[in-house]
Amino acid sequence: MSEVLESEAWGSRQPFDLDDEVGQRINELSLQPTIDSLQAEGFGYVIPAADPEFNERLRHVIIEQCRKNGGGGANMLLDKDPVFAEVITNPKLLAVAEVMCGKGFMISQIAASIRPEGAVSIGLHADQNWTPAPFPVHNQLVTFCWATDDYNEHNGSTKIIPKSHLKRRHPTPEEVRDEPGAIPTECPAGSAVVWDGSVWHSNYPRKAPGERVVLHITYSRLALRPVECYDDLDDEWLSGQPAVMRTLLGREDFLNTTGGAYAGGMEKLGRTFVWART
């Protein structure tokens, strides 16, 4: 029996043990400090995530989409404007997401928010809210918060409790109340804060005039159900997109299809098993 278990475990890549291809991409994009911080602290930064022109375009579209939605937020954004496809296929975000969620990871949620002066905190939580504790050794999902304006405590930035991901559980009611060891995240406009699914976080109430305009992008392991379903986006929409978009929408693995396990052939089946172990 133990022989069987050992052979089944063989081939699973352990967290932060990068294969050569991903390791090279991380180095080329100068993201090793981001990965090191995610491993040690549970969060990190992508500085910058894109150039100022792109950031301004994104900011403008977020405001437009939130207004259209009648308020401070909007989600299900992938096909609402071309900028969102560009964001979720951003090479830096993809490289970090692959380290955190393995190959074949999916887009889970694209959610924009605008928080005016006086907006309150959302409350301490771990994003792996639909995963029971103890959290698996392998991280389940990863969230990027793209700050289109300078991000700091005064502006209502994300509040993080460094190293809380090492506890691998949800915070208790007392911890939610006291937020022990919480610090503000800080980065310039056009950057992203990234945190793993286990780390405890909230946000600071905004004290500065004006509005906090951010986009939350969450990716998850292929074995976890995403928050947002884009099954209505057909091959015509996909034809104008980079190849990775098919993977991000779960079109290249065998899970959750109307045809069942064998509809995609043995190639999809095998590919999914290999991806799921990274």
Contact at 8 Å (CB) between 110 and 229? no
Nearer to Fe ion among residue 139 and residue 241 (C-beta): 139
Residues in contact with Fe ion, total (CB under 5 A)? 1
Does residue 196 touch Fe ion according to CB under 5 A?
no
> Dmax of the chain from CA atoms?
64
Min dist CB 102 to Fe ion, Å, is 21
Residues ≥6 apart with Cβ < 8 Å to 160: 41, 42, 43, 182, 183, 184, 185, 195, 199, 200, 201
Beta bridge partners of 115: 212
Beta bridge partners of 74: 112
Min dist CB 143 to Fe ion, Å, is 6
The strand order across the sheet containing 183-184 reads 183-184, 158-160, 201-203
Min dist CB 107 to Fe ion, Å, is 16
Nearer to Fe ion among residue 127 and residue 153 (C-beta): 127
Min dist CB 37 to Fe ion, Å, is 18
Nearer to Fe ion among residue 127 and residue 252 (C-beta): 127
DSSP state letter for 134:
S
Query: Going residue by residue from 215 to 244, which x/- string records binding to Fe ion, judged by CB under 5 A?
Result: ------------------------------
Min dist CB 69 to Fe ion, Å, is 20
| Residues 102-161 interacting with Fe ion (rule: CB under 5 A) | 127
Its sign, for the CA torsion 218, 44, 61, 68, is positive
Q: What whole-number distance in Å separates Cα of residue 188 and Cα of residue 169? A: 31
Coil, helix or strand for 249? coil
Closest residue to Fe ion using C-beta atoms: 127
Nearer to Fe ion among residue 145 and residue 213 (C-beta): 145
Nearer to Fe ion among residue 109 and residue 278 (C-beta): 109
Helix (H) or strand (E) segment spanning residue 196: strand 191-196
Nearer to Fe ion among residue 23 and residue 205 (C-beta): 205
Min dist CB 127 to Fe ion, Å, is 4
- Which positions lie near Fe ion, rule CB under 5 A? 127
